[in-house]
Amino acid sequence: MKTTEQQVQELLDREAIRDLPKRYCHCVWTGDLDGIISLFTEDGCMIMQSSKGPQTTAGRDKLRKTFARVVDELGPRPYIHNHVLQLKDAAHATGTCYVELRDSKNDMKWLGTGFYNDEYVKVGNDWKFKSRDVTLVRMERAVAPQR
């Protein structure tokens, strides 16, 4: 049986992890590239599932370039839903959250929908994305490819 202290720490960890996708969306909305990148580990990556297979962008420098292009070209406005997560241990977790995208460059029309399969790690006292594996189930227009 877990102690009260262990249970409280798990609750704090869960809340911190649930906050990551929300902060990610906020940073994308506001074009805060430093904020987006700070949510990832130094070697963190985005994996975009496509008909050509997975396209991976790894490392903060490459992530910054990709996010700068995507935010500028698409102006996406993401809405995160239904975040389900599993704590693996005190420093590792996984989760899935669902996303709806709106197009700020096109009168906020529906852009697409999909989901993220995430890996989280605790770095010091902060939880970060180790990876975000995004599957876009339906898109109205092409998303800039990951590099």
Residue 147: is its pLDDT beyond 70?
no
In tens, the pLDDT along 32-81 reads 999 999 999 999 999 998 888 899 999 999 999 999 999 998 899 999 99
Distance (Å, rounded) from C-alpha 94 to C-alpha 52?
25
In tens, the pLDDT along 108-142 reads 888 899 999 999 999 999 999 999 999 998 877 65
User: In DSSP terms, which residues pair with 95 in a beta bridge?
Assistant: 85, 118
Backbone angles phi, psi at 141, to 5 degrees: -145, 160
* Domains of the chain, earliest start first: 4-139 (3.10.450.50)
Distance (Å, rounded) from C-alpha 39 to C-alpha 65?
15
3-state secondary structure the chain: CCCHHHHHHHHHHHHHHHHHHHHHHHHHHHCCHHHHHHCEEEEEEEEEECCCCCEEEECHHHHHHHHHHHHHHHCEEEEEEEEEEEEEECCEEEEEEEEEEEEHHHCCEEEEEEEEEEEEEEECCEEEEEEEEEEEEEECCCCCCCC
According to the model, what pLDDT value does residue 143 have? 52
Residue 94: is its pLDDT beyond 50?
yes
According to the model, what pLDDT value does residue 140 have? 77
Distance (Å, rounded) from C-alpha 85 to C-alpha 109?
30
